[in-house]
Structure 1
Amino acid sequence: MSTSGKSIVSDFYTSDFFNENANVKKHLHPEMELFWNARTGYSHMRIEDISAVTSEASKSFESVRCEITHLLEDGNNVTIRFTFFVSTIENPNEEVPVAHFVAIWEIKDGLMYKGYQMSQPAEESQEAMISYQGVNL
């Protein structure tokens, strides 16, 4: 039985991959590449880079939660739009939005293979956050 690309991508982003690094290898193809444009610049990452970044981030965050607003599938490509919310170790009782993302993933062999991602710091104004409220997927 084949798993849909939407399920693969959604399961990855909603997994606790920041604290459970096994989720990185469970969802990402061993030959994966991520082409990431962010406010801080461009990054070209492979699975080892993703593992290192998530491992390092887990040292600062008590929890990370992904709120998906859009999840679209076309053939072997999945587009996802989401916001990461975090609670820091210093303040575990307060959850704040940290960044907004849009990513397009090519699925290969039931895993996330090539990703094209853009991100920006989250804006906490009410108007900005309304645009990131969930929609029916």
Structure 2
Amino acid sequence: MSAKDIVQNFYKSDVLLETDTVNAFLHPEVVLEWHSTKGFLKLNHDEIIGLANELSKAYVRSKSRISHITEEGNTVAVRYSHYVKTMENPREEMLLAHFMVIWELKDNKLYRGYQMSQL
């Protein structure tokens, strides 16, 4: 499986709400550097799993719509919009944010991420 395929599978519907599945994609030494509209976060493996766990408590569905994805060796850049459905209103899809992330893969796992997001 190519690096691009791995990243595409990571952003498939509902994966970000499934902690076991998220864990399967992450390298044990993963680090995600995230610049968001709320500031800078540097997340390790356990913190990313914790974030997926929190998302699964708040949302019943999750969908990433990828608009751009490019691969060069073990590095993949992806631009996507993340949509969710809340437990209170599962029929309405809501835009969570727009994202741009560059993933470096190691041992066919997400190893280093450099992400920016905006509401």
TM-score interval (norm. to shorter): over 0.9
SS in 1 for 2:115: strand
Cα deviation for residue 69 of structure 1 reads 0.5
Which one has a larger percent strand, Structure 1 or Structure 2? 2
Cα deviation for residue 15 of structure 1 reads 4.8
Deviations 1:30-81 (A, max 9, x none): 1000000000000000110011111111111111111000110011110000
State how far apart, in whole Å, the 1-side matches of 2:12 and 2:53 are: 16
Is the 2:30–2:110 contact (alpha carbons within 8 Å) kept by the matching residues of 1?
A: yes
* Percent of aligned pairs sharing the same letter: 42
Is the 2:101–2:114 contact (alpha carbons within 8 Å) kept by the matching residues of 1?
A: yes
What TM-score do the two structures reach when normalised by structure 2? 0.95
Number of aligned positions between the proteins:
119
* Aligned pair partner of 1:99 in 72, 97, 100: 97
Cα deviation for residue 18 of structure 1 reads 3.4
In structure 2, the residue matched to 1:74 is: 72
What TM-score do the two structures reach when normalised by structure 1? 0.83
Q: Which has the larger radius of gyration?
A: 1
State how far apart, in whole Å, the 2-side matches of 1:58 and 1:25 are: 14
